Structure 1
Amino acid sequence: MFIIFLRFSEHRAKAAELMAAHNAWLSRGFDAGLFLLAGSLQPNAGGAILAQGTDRVMIEALVAEDPFVAEGVVTAEIHEISPGRVDARLAFLKG
């Protein structure tokens, strides 16, 4: 499982022109069953994604395809987590 932080860089002004492409990239991740959650980092600092079902190499390649990453709008931090303890409602994450 991975938590991906997409933090705005000094090029954040380009975000508006790339938003449709970024949202299409997110949709592909959800459609592939890799992304479980995506949302904004507050206050207006970027975004975060919870992903599962693949290895780090594939996640790194997928993140590199994000137009925000490719165009330097955000910097990506990928953190791998091995869930040890989860609430029963999220037991599927322990997989």
Structure 2
Amino acid sequence: MYVVLLKFSEKRAEAGRLMDGHRAWLQKGFEEGVFLMAGSLQPKAGGAILAHGTSPEALRRRVEEDPLVAEDVVRAEILEIDPSRTDPRLAFLAA
């Protein structure tokens, strides 16, 4: 399981023109079953994604395809988590 942090760079003002592409990129991640959750970092610091079912290398390549990352509007940090205990509703993450 992975947490992807997308933190705004000094180019934050350019985010608006890339949001349609970013949303399409997110949608593709959900449709392909890799993204489980996406949301905003508060207060307006960027975004975060919960991902699973992929390799670190494949996720890194996927993240690099995000228009916000490609244009250096956000900087990505990928954290890998090896779940050892979950709520029963999230047991699939430990498999």
- Give the TM-score normalised by structure 2: 0.98
Moved over 2 A (4+): none
Match of 1:14 in 2: 14
Secondary structure of 2:79's match? strand
CA distance in 1, matches of 2:62, 2:27: 12
Match of 1:38 in 2: 38
Secondary structure of 2:21's match? helix
Q: Which runs of 5+ in 2 are unaligned?
A: none
State the superposition RMSD in angstroms: 0.5
Secondary structure of 1:20's match? helix
Match of 2:60 in 1: 60
Deviation at 1:55, TM superposition (A): 0.4
Q: Which runs of 5+ in 1 are unaligned?
A: none
- Give the TM-score normalised by structure 1: 0.98
Provide the aligned length of Structure 1 versus Structure 2. 95
CA distance in 1, matches of 2:77, 2:18: 20
